[in-house]
């Protein structure tokens, strides 16, 4: 995938529409890598800085930030795989809670509605905004429809607007069709998903 496509957050296989509201930033963050073909925007500080500038706010990447950003991204992806019937990663909760503490997430009560806001600046604070968006979506119920594609080399985050929230693949054409005849599909069918 083109680097610009990852930066824009506008690529949605299967002609899906992006996640609603602030949940779209969570989706875009998880989709900062094309796991099958590359690139990975979080391979270097410049990629993370450019993504933050486009989607949240400018922040200077300091030592350790990149590793924490990647860990948070993959912890979020594991939750999105769990939304798709996969086994949850037991380490994900810790990663999210540590990121929340580093961001200094605080409850705010402005007239237009309660929210979590980061007290920290820099990349920690920016990652906190992503966490706050995920947190809000978990409370309003939209979170359950944000899923990661279960084809192992894919993992793309997509928003499932199907009536029964029954979509499995990022795109039937891209991933669904490729695995349908394969072992993964048979295993998933056998396990009742």
> Quick check: 149 binds Zn ion (CB under 5 A)?
yes
Radius of gyration, alpha carbons of the chain: 17
- In whole angstroms, how close is the CB of 170 to Zn ion at the nearest point? 3
CB nearer to Zn ion: pick between 130 and 149: 149
The three-state DSSP-derived secondary structure of the chain is CCHHHHHHCCCCHHHCCCCCCCHHHHHHHHCCECCCCCCEHHHCHHHHHHHHHHHCCCCCCCCCHHHHHHHHHHHHHHHHHHCCCCCCCCCHHHHHHHHHHHHCEEEECCCCCCEEEECCCHHHHHHHHHHHHHHHHHHHCHHHHEEECCCCCCCCEEECCCCCCCCCCCCHHHHHHHHCCCHHHHHHHHCCC
> Quick check: 30 binds Zn ion (CB under 5 A)?
no
Binding residue for Zn ion, selected from 154, 157, 167, 179, defined by CB under 5 A? 154
CB nearer to Zn ion: pick between 135 and 156: 156
- In whole angstroms, how close is the CB of 130 to Zn ion at the nearest point? 22
- In whole angstroms, how close is the CB of 42 to Zn ion at the nearest point? 19
CB nearer to Zn ion: pick between 132 and 170: 170
> Quick check: 175 binds Zn ion (CB under 5 A)?
yes
Report d(CA 96, CA 119) in Å as an integer: 16
Q: Which range touches Zn ion (CB under 5 A), out of 20-28, 33-41, 101-109, 153-161?
A: 153-161
- Binding-residue total with Zn ion (CB under 5 A): 6
- In whole angstroms, how close is the CB of 182 to Zn ion at the nearest point? 13
- In whole angstroms, how close is the CB of 92 to Zn ion at the nearest point? 20
- In whole angstroms, how close is the CB of 157 to Zn ion at the nearest point? 10
> Quick check: 170 binds Zn ion (CB under 5 A)?
yes
Q: Which range touches Zn ion (CB under 5 A), out of 49-57, 85-93, 121-129, 162-170?
A: 162-170
Binding-site ranges for Zn ion (CB under 5 A): 149, 151, 154, 156, 170, 175
């Amino acid at each position: 995938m083109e680097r610009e496509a990852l930066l824009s957050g506008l690529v949605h296989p299967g002609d899906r529409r992006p996640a609603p509201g602030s949940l779209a930033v969570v989706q875009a963050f998880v989709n900062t890598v094309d796991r099958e073909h590359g690139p990975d925007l979080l391979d270097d500080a410049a990629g993370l800085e450019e993504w933050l500038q486009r989607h949240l706010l400018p922040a200077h990447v300091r030592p350790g930030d990149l590793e924490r950003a990647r860990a948070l991204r993959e912890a979020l992806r594991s939750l999105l795989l769990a939304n798709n019937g996969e086994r949850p990663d037991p380490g994900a909760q810790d990663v999210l809670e540590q990121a929340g503490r580093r961001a200094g997430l605080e409850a705010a009560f402005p007239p237009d509605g309660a929210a979590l806001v980061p007290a920290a600046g820099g990349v920690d604070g920016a990652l906190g905004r992503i966490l706050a968006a995920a947190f809000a979506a978990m409370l309003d119920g939209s979170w359950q429809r944000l899923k990661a594609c279960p084809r192992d080399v894919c993992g793309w985050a997509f928003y499932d607007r199907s009536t029964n929230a029954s979509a499995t693949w990022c795109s039937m054409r891209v991933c669904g069709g490729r695995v349908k005849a394969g072992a993964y599909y048979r295993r998933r069918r056998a396990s009742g998903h």
